[in-house]
Amino acid sequence: MDRITAPSGLPVQALLATLRSAKPERELAALMAELTGGEVAIVAPWGEVLAGSAPRAPVRHEVRDEGSLLGTFLLSHRPGDLTLLSLAGEVYTLIVLQRAARVARAAAAGEALLAELLSGSRAPDLAERLGVYGLEDEPYAVGVAELWGRRARSRSARQSLTNDLEGLRVAGDALFHARAHRALSAVRGGRVVWWWTTGEPHGQADALLSALLAFTNEDVRLGISEAHAEVERGNSALTQALLALGSTRSARSCALFSTLDPLHWVLSSLPGGHLRLWRDSLLGPLRKADEDGRLLDTLRAYLHDPDHKSALAERLNIHPNTLRYRLGKIEELLGQPLSHPATLARLYLALGPEA
């Protein structure tokens, strides 16, 4: 980065002094509010207000480094001298890079410990070493991120991929630091892995994905395990995160193991052509007789909640007698009773995510 310079009269030294603060974002936001005479907030790439007070109808000033979003200033009004805003952005960049360097040094020191945890180690001194990082006796989760579909066949491509994964790692570490979650991270096997203290990993899922998406325009996907209390289950937590990652079906998305449907594994293990043949055989008579699609729509809704027919009729905006007629017609066409668990299982498998 170029050295910060400014015309005389601008409070450059005061801006730079925020770098030495224990809470530099807070000091920088307060100083900018004082200098501009309005409200100022600093927002993280994942959308969380890190410092200051957000105006109702803010002017936005994004701070980027080599294309990656580092944060956004929200101001009640744009200062008359735009040099001030540019300087504040450069100082904020220094704050982010300074912290990233500290976190990276700590993360590098913890990589060996993370590898041990993910292998399910039961070393006698493990609790003591976890204590150094504040991880002892804390529930935790494991997250795995991947640049989906990215292949690195040459040496230069592998180095480029490693660099981009390191960037994702830094972005995730920044989130955990900002939210006071103690964490370990590493780039392993073409993916980024995090181990962080939490009892409710779903509470960090969206923010972590947002932090990663702010770093890259590529198709980054994220899988997150359940919360675990036993350190020796680190390998299981990693497996859960990998299974969740593999279940993602849309670009730039996140999946949690706790919300996975086992149907995903059943469907993904079958050749697509075989599954279509079986589905057409089961549902063929229904599709042939159901020209307007009402019976199939009713069946999908019924499979979602087969025990509350009154509520289902209300949701479909039809009379309960109409619902009973349609369900009876479906049974007649399928030649199977909807009250039988095996029938419901076959239909749920055939309709898959539609159900």
Q: What's the pLDDT tens digit per position in 266-276?
A: 666 667 677 78
Note whether 142 and 89 are same-domain residues. Answer: no
pLDDT at 61: 94
Q: What's the CATH number where 144 sits?
A: 3.30.70.270
Q: Is residue 5 part of a domain?
A: no
Q: Report the pLDDT averaged over residues 26-30.
A: 95
- 6 pLDDT exceeds 60? no
Q: Is residue 137 part of a domain?
A: yes
Q: What's the CATH number where 311 sits?
A: 1.10.10.2840
Note whether 145 and 83 are same-domain residues. Answer: no
Neighbour tally for 24: CB within 10 Å? 22
- Cα gap 277→298, rounded to integer Å: 23
Structure tokens at 203: 């509470």
Note whether 123 and 256 are same-domain residues. Answer: yes
User: Which residues 6+ apart lie within 8 Å of 208 measured at CB?
Assistant: 46, 143, 172, 175, 194, 222, 224, 254
Note whether 92 and 50 are same-domain residues. Answer: yes
Specify the length of the chain in residues.
Answer: 355
The tens digit of pLDDT for each residue in 42-66 reads 999 999 999 999 998 899 999 998 8
Q: Report the pLDDT averaged over residues 297-318.
A: 88
Total structural domains in the chain? 3
- 90 pLDDT exceeds 70? yes
Structure tokens at 103: 């976190």
Q: Is residue 17 part of a domain?
A: yes
- 322 pLDDT exceeds 90? yes
SS3 254: strand
SS3 10: coil
Alpha helices per DSSP H over the chain: 12-17, 24-36, 82-118, 126-132, 155-178, 202-215, 234-246, 263-268, 272-289, 294-304, 309-316, 320-334, 341-351
Note whether 272 and 319 are same-domain residues. Answer: yes
Note whether 251 and 141 are same-domain residues. Answer: yes
Q: Report the pLDDT averaged over residues 75-96.
A: 90
| Predicted confidence band of residue 136 (pLDDT cuts 50, 70, 90) | confident
| Domain final position from 31, 66, 99 | 99
Strands 140-147 and 68-75, by their bridges, are: unpaired
Note whether 251 and 295 are same-domain residues. Answer: no
Note whether 125 and 232 are same-domain residues. Answer: yes
Q: Please answer whether residues 185 and 118 qualify as being in contact, where contact means their C-beta atoms are separated by less than 8 angstroms.
A: no
| Domain final position from 99, 128, 153 | 99
Percent of the chain with pLDDT over 90: 56
Note whether 247 and 279 are same-domain residues. Answer: no
- 3 pLDDT exceeds 60? no
Q: Please answer whether residues 88 and 25 qualify as being in contact, where contact means their C-beta atoms are separated by less than 8 angstroms.
A: no
pLDDT at 195: 96
| Predicted confidence band of residue 308 (pLDDT cuts 50, 70, 90) | confident
Q: Is residue 292 part of a domain?
A: yes
Residue type, 43: V
Q: Is residue 86 part of a domain?
A: yes
| Domain final position from 260, 294, 322 | 260
Q: Is residue 111 part of a domain?
A: no
Note whether 65 and 191 are same-domain residues. Answer: no
Residue span of the structural domain in which 332 resides = 267-354
- 72 pLDDT exceeds 90? yes
Q: What's the CATH number where 62 sits?
A: 3.30.450.40
Q: Give the mean pLDDT of the chain.
A: 88
Note whether 277 and 255 are same-domain residues. Answer: no
Q: Is residue 165 part of a domain?
A: yes
Note whether 254 and 176 are same-domain residues. Answer: yes
pLDDT at 353: 52
Q: Is residue 234 part of a domain?
A: yes
